[in-house]
Structure 1
Amino acid sequence: MTELTRHALNYLTGFGNQHASEAVPGALPIGRNSPQRAPHGLYAELLSGSAFTAPRAENQRTWLYRRRPSVVCGGYGPLAHAHWKSGAAQGEAAPPDPLRWGPTPLQGEGDFVDGLRTYVVNGEAGQQGMSAHAYVATRSMGRRALVNADGEMLLVPQQGRLLVTTELGRLEVAPGSIALLPRGLAFKVDPLDVPARGYVCENFGAAFRLPELGPIGSNGLANPRDFEFPVAWHEVEEGAYEIVKRHGGQLWRATQPHSPFNVVAWHGNLAPCRYDTSRFMTINTVSFDHPDPSIFTVLTSPSDSPGWANVDFVIFPPRWMVAEDTFRPPWYHRNVMSEFMGLVLGQYDAKPEGFKPGGASLHNSYVPHGPDTDAFDKASSAELTPHKLDATLAFMFETRWPMKPTAWAMNEAPLEKTYADCWQGLTENFQPG
């Protein structure tokens, strides 16, 4: 545990809960949301993550009590960014081939915003769909903050710890954990270890939530109590901030004379959080067949068609593989859903050699995929005893819409031109009669 964690960071727990926190005693009004005069001369401000008339169970909002309101900001001008893309219109036409990339190079000088590179896009920014990005950060954001008005951002660190400062407090996020940052919230991401590398899912649809458990019952997968939320914290250092805003699929910048991280107290259920994936309760087969990957869903963003997610966040963590006389790795399949995968740690059981930590793959809608030749041969002849998959963590952003790779992904990123060759050794073994 770092000095930062011991002395500055504390956490509230419970996904979807109403939380309340104050950095100064008495800063949080009791019994009134927006009193005539907020305590300590603060301003009351409401952050809404849903329409005012959304059903109570789905309504997301948080009251902020801050030293200056967020309206105190200069006018916005365009900010150029060559590699951060949003929406299907900013993607490239690509053949329906399986695609795989090697680890994103740890090079360049830039902060989290500068270091974002978009792999794939679909949908429309601010409306529906998602984008998947890589990031490499070699310096802090300093007095620079990001507000994404188009979508919430799910951070998946792969190398290096991050300090995520938000309007509601701070989160330290290490590889193996994730951070979920609500749409419209100001934040900045500073690497505690340099360089830092990881992945981002930018979700334009319904906010991420825990999936329903159905026949699983009341326990399993990601438990609400394991999600951690920051306590109130406000920056005391004076000085101007650059505000970078993602709006309408474009980047804009403005300067304001004070820190956006000036919230002294807050209460509500719309807040950033972190989750340690080692706390995920895996449920796996003990009879036969490999279960559908949906059994590993951590968070889901539903669409208007039940069961067809706008985007699911799925993990493949350490787990026991126990089954009777059956093939253990994922089966060969073609899926109506599109799958973008990344590897945080170790090996992925269907691609034990070619898929590297820091890399990524794309298997679009109805693109066939599955274990490579080596994985198939090994699994077909393995002794069928209980086997522990350990020291591994892969993840998947799965979406109902096809993904379009960007020009960076196809021309500049470490795209493996011969990825499809990993299946060429699967010869015909049919034996009539």
Structure 2
Amino acid sequence: MALSYMPGFGNDFETESLPGALPQGRNSPQRPAYGLYAEQLSGSPFTAPRGANERSWLYRIRPSVKHTGRFRPVDYPLWKTAPNVGNHELALGQYRWNPISVPKDSTDFLAGVRTMTTGGDALGQSGMAAHLYVANDDMTDDHFFNADGELLVVPQVGGVRFVTEMGIIEVKPGEICILPRGLVFKVEMIDGPVRGYICENYGAKFTLPHRGPIGANCLANPRDFKTPVAWFEEKEAPCRLIVKWCGKFYATELDHSPLDVVAWHGNYAPYKYDLSTFSPVGAILFDHPDPSIFTVLTAPSGEEGTANVDFVIFPPRWLVAEDTFRPPWYHRNIMSEFMGLVQGQYDAKEEGFVPGGVSLHNMMLAHGPDASGFDKASHVELQPVKLDHTLAFMFETRFPQMLTRYAAELDTLQDNYIDCWKGLKKRFNGTPEGDWS
């Protein structure tokens, strides 16, 4: 079971895996029940305003200082951190990739992260990185936390079980999971090899976007976000804790599991969300709203309305607008768009953009429907139609997305992607009717 969770709104939740393990009326009693240690995990400065202050009290078998020892450097060469600039020769452009394959050799979640783009600066706590992940093995005795940012995980093939110090979250394609900065976890496969996408957010935490004139309902509703109940592992055996800190990786050896939180309360926690519960809104007469109406979560920047990162989805939905070009229009954008496809077909790119694939349209680079999609949408009879069996998403950021060497040299890069617009012909002929033949 899970508790309803409202990301970024200061709610307080409580859960315990043994009766009476959670103190009542005080956070740090002199002698907590069961001989536990009280510890606070803070996700914001202590003096942040009440609505933005995020912290959780953990009651655990050992304090976290017992979960670390002497660190030594370790290497995850395909996981890169911003700034990561100028290490390849690929020129600027609009790009698209086919899916990558799961390795044949044993590969766990950490070893399976492959960075495609980075933007901003992790040390300055701004920007993001977009990763792919592939894995076919569990992190049995390895554990991890990321000090550089929170992770938004989007499964595309196979279910993933995040065994965290605050409980267990299982996430399947069609769902997402947020793992906060500093949270200790390991990853297990639910049903075989997995593949998916990760947004590593260096900046302000993801929260629900303001609805404005939409009002109290629709888009992502708070009650559909779920955080785990308390769970602990009392394991006395060799384990390893791996840390990502300022773009580098370090490991320390333990003689026990660090997943030993027996109870917790607070508002800084991992959570999941079922994307099928997103309630889209759109035009019901004419014209084409901006894609911001599909924002599930936003990580704000210091500038109102300009996100550090937006997580946007294009789910199944009805199209009913009259006298309107229904697919996304041609545009150039101040934001950079990293796009993935979880399942089905994307209406603006019916050919070449396949589940597990990636496209990148950097800031101010023109993009839009391919030639066949434009022709079809320009001539189709505009009856109500449901886009079904589809789920695409974007990590959209105000930062330019710099390709990694891995992405630039990946053999799934589509050399002919730019040709999808080759068939767009001149239709201007000096008459009001134009040439729509």
TM-score with structure 2 length normalisation?
0.95
What is the rounded CA distance, in whole Å, between the counterparts of 1:240 and 1:43 in structure 2? 22
Alignment equivalent of 2:176, drawn from 175, 178, 192: 178
In structure 2, the partner of 1:12 is 3
Q: Is the Cα contact below 8 Å between 2:5 and 2:271 reproduced in 1?
A: no
How many angstroms does 1:255 deviate by?
1.1
How many angstroms does 1:413 deviate by?
4.8
Amino acid at match of 1:206: A
What is the rounded CA distance, in whole Å, between the counterparts of 2:86 and 2:222 in structure 1? 36
Secondary structure class of the residue paired with 1:339: strand
Q: Is the Cα contact below 8 Å between 2:96 and 2:414 reproduced in 1?
A: yes
What is the rounded CA distance, in whole Å, between the counterparts of 1:250 and 1:289 in structure 2? 48
State the Cα deviation string for residues 214-265 of structure 1 (Å, max 9, x = none).
Answer: 1111111000000011000001332122111010111111112211110000
State the Cα deviation string for residues 30-49 of structure 1 (Å, max 9, x = none).
Answer: 11111111111000110000
Is it true that 1:316 corresponds to 2:314 in the alignment? yes
How many angstroms does 1:301 deviate by?
0.4
Amino acid at match of 2:405: A
How many angstroms does 1:91 deviate by?
5.8
Which blocks of at least 5 consecutive residues in structure 1 are unaligned? 1-9
What is the rounded CA distance, in whole Å, between the counterparts of 2:254 and 2:287 in structure 1? 57
Alignment equivalent of 1:264, drawn from 262, 265, 275: 262
Which blocks of at least 5 consecutive residues in structure 2 are unaligned? 432-437
Q: Is the Cα contact below 8 Å between 1:91 and 1:120 reproduced in 2?
A: no
Q: Is the Cα contact below 8 Å between 1:88 and 1:403 reproduced in 2?
A: no
In structure 1, the partner of 2:51 is 57
What is the rounded CA distance, in whole Å, between the counterparts of 1:243 and 1:188 in structure 2? 10
In structure 1, the partner of 2:434 is none
What is the rounded CA distance, in whole Å, between the counterparts of 1:322 and 1:252 in structure 2? 53
What is the rounded CA distance, in whole Å, between the counterparts of 2:189 and 2:132 in structure 1? 15
Amino acid at match of 1:308: T
TM-score with structure 1 length normalisation?
0.96
In structure 2, the partner of 1:115 is 112
- How do 1:380-395 residues align onto structure 2 when only pairs under 5 Å count? 380-395=378-393
Q: Is the Cα contact below 8 Å between 1:154 and 1:180 reproduced in 2?
A: yes
In structure 2, the partner of 1:209 is 207
What is the rounded CA distance, in whole Å, between the counterparts of 2:86 and 2:210 in structure 1? 32
Secondary structure class of the residue paired with 1:71: helix
What is the rounded CA distance, in whole Å, between the counterparts of 1:36 and 1:224 in structure 2? 36
Answer with 177-186 or 75-84: which moved more: 75-84
What is the rounded CA distance, in whole Å, between the counterparts of 1:78 and 1:208 in structure 2? 30
Secondary structure class of the residue paired with 1:145: strand
- How do 1:237-276 residues align onto structure 2 when only pairs under 5 Å count? 237-276=235-274
What is the rounded CA distance, in whole Å, between the counterparts of 2:109 and 2:193 in structure 1? 11
How many angstroms does 1:104 deviate by?
1.3
What is the rounded CA distance, in whole Å, between the counterparts of 1:91 and 1:128 in structure 2? 19
What is the rounded CA distance, in whole Å, between the counterparts of 1:244 and 1:288 in structure 2? 53
In structure 1, the partner of 2:122 is 125
How many angstroms does 1:166 deviate by?
0.6
- How do 1:252-401 residues align onto structure 2 when only pairs under 5 Å count? 252-401=250-399
Is it true that 1:75 corresponds to 2:78 in the alignment? no
How many angstroms does 1:92 deviate by?
4.1
How many angstroms does 1:353 deviate by?
1.5
State the Cα deviation string for residues 357-382 of structure 1 (Å, max 9, x = none).
Answer: 00101000000000001100111111
Secondary structure class of the residue paired with 2:372: helix
In structure 2, the partner of 1:169 is 167
Q: Is the Cα contact below 8 Å between 1:96 and 1:367 reproduced in 2?
A: no
The percentage of counterpart residues that share the same residue type is 56
Secondary structure class of the residue paired with 1:134: strand
Q: Is the Cα contact below 8 Å between 2:84 and 2:404 reproduced in 1?
A: no
How many residue pairs align between the two structures? 424
What is the rounded CA distance, in whole Å, between the counterparts of 2:188 and 2:121 in structure 1? 28
In structure 1, the partner of 2:435 is none
What is the rounded CA distance, in whole Å, between the counterparts of 2:176 and 2:3 in structure 1? 16
> Following superposition, which runs of at least 4 residues in structure 1 exceed 6 angstroms of deviation?
none
What is the rounded CA distance, in whole Å, between the counterparts of 1:78 and 1:92 in structure 2? 22
What is the rounded CA distance, in whole Å, between the counterparts of 1:65 and 1:314 in structure 2? 36
Q: 1:62 to 1:143 in 2, by over 3 A?
A: same
Amino acid at match of 1:406: T
Backbone CA RMSD of aligned residues: 1.1
Secondary structure class of the residue paired with 1:62: strand
Amino acid at match of 1:401: F
